[in-house]
A = this chain, B = another copy of it.
Amino acid sequence: VDEFEAIARLFAPLAGAEPGALGLRDDAAVLAPPAGREIVVTKDLMAAGVHFLADDPADLVARKLMRVNLSDLAAMGARPWTYLLGLTLARPVDRAWLAKFAEGLATDQAAFGITLVGGDTTAHDGPTVLSLTALGTVAPGMALRRGSARDGDTVWVSGTLGDAALGLRVLRGELPRLSTSARDYLVGRYRLPTPRIDLGQGLVGLAHAAIDVSDGLLADLGHVCAASGLGARIRVDRLPLSTAAQEAGAGATAAALAGGDDYELLFTAPDAAVTALGERLGIGLTPIGELRAGRGIDLVDAAGRPVPPPPSSGWTHF
């Protein structure tokens, strides 16, 4: 059994539920698009040493890879459908790592109702690079966009912000005074984000604009503002912080504003129906400010006084 065959055996079961995957043994997958739906497609990479740490558990790496892509589908209001995988593995190939990686995929396939339909595997003399292409579906014309926010919209975020950036700092040994439970919580949020799939679909027809918070609130809200031709005013005292993040003190607000990797949804909508949706889904939804004519993002406190932005205003890729 050569490596090629071994990998085929590891991944073939992940495609079992979808006949169009052709057992991952043909040149491509053949998929019948669900009737009356548009197709939403996204592709996100994760490189060892950049987006994950070489000793992160392989099953969690797999699940994070899937979830960052599902988060993009969520931000469009899409329902997950199928995915393809591209693995460029560090030589020598670690079969045990790969088996654990496949286990992680199986876990999240079941959790999110998505099936592997194709991909490619190779090995090279360099760090492992993972690529995933996720396909979803949405009702025609109903995908959530980032450029369709309106003057006067309230800016909402789901869940809590800043946890993942703080979790990464914990892994780097930078927050030794936090309680064990806080450290575990924050690391968990970094390693295993929760894509807001149900929320995204619930926001279809309700939110005017949506984006997932992957680069950091200021960066991602900046994308919404730029694409919509609007400015925003954000109440820093209203940023939703987890109990664990609050233990980190002043760093928590900076992480909530500029830290990436939380994969919560940021969306803009008129107020009315949003609270009811959050209650139905059991997800905390927090209004943190509003959009208005103009450019740029103003940060203010409860009394409306300006708050200085944190030194780093968002993840950049280089």
- Please list the residues of chain A having a beta carbon within 8 angstroms of any beta carbon in chain B: 2-4, 20, 22, 25-33, 38-45, 47-51, 71-73, 75-76, 78, 84-88, 91, 93, 117-127, 129, 131, 133, 135-136, 138, 140, 143, 145-147, 211-212, 223, 227, 316-318
Contacts and interface: CB of A to CB of B under 8 A. Distances in A.
A29 B44 contact: no
Given A27-B146, A140-B32, A318 B93 contact: yes
Given A88-B129, A129-B124, A39 B42 contact: no
19 contacts: A3-B316, A4-B316, A26-B145, A27-B42, A27-B212, A29-B41, A31-B39, A31-B40, A32-B140, A43-B119, A43-B120, A44-B120, A45-B88, A47-B126, A49-B125, A91-B318, A120-B131, A122-B317, A125-B127
Contacts of A121: 45, 317
Most buried by B among A20, A28, A85: A28
A212 B28 CA distance: 11
A317 B98 CA distance: 15
Contacts of A51: 122
B317 A47 contact: no
A84 B29 contact: no
A114 to B, nearest CB: 14
A2 B39 contact: no
Nearest to A73: B28
A-B interface, 8 closest residue pairs, ranked by CB to CB distance from nearest: A126-B126, A28-B42, A3-B318, A27-B75, A33-B33, A27-B72, A133-B133, A131-B131
Contact of A30 (B44, B76, B127): B76
A160 to B, nearest CB: 20
A122 B65 CA distance: 14
B47 A28 contact: no
A133 B28 CA distance: 10
Contacts of A317: 3-4, 121-123
A230 to B, nearest CB: 15
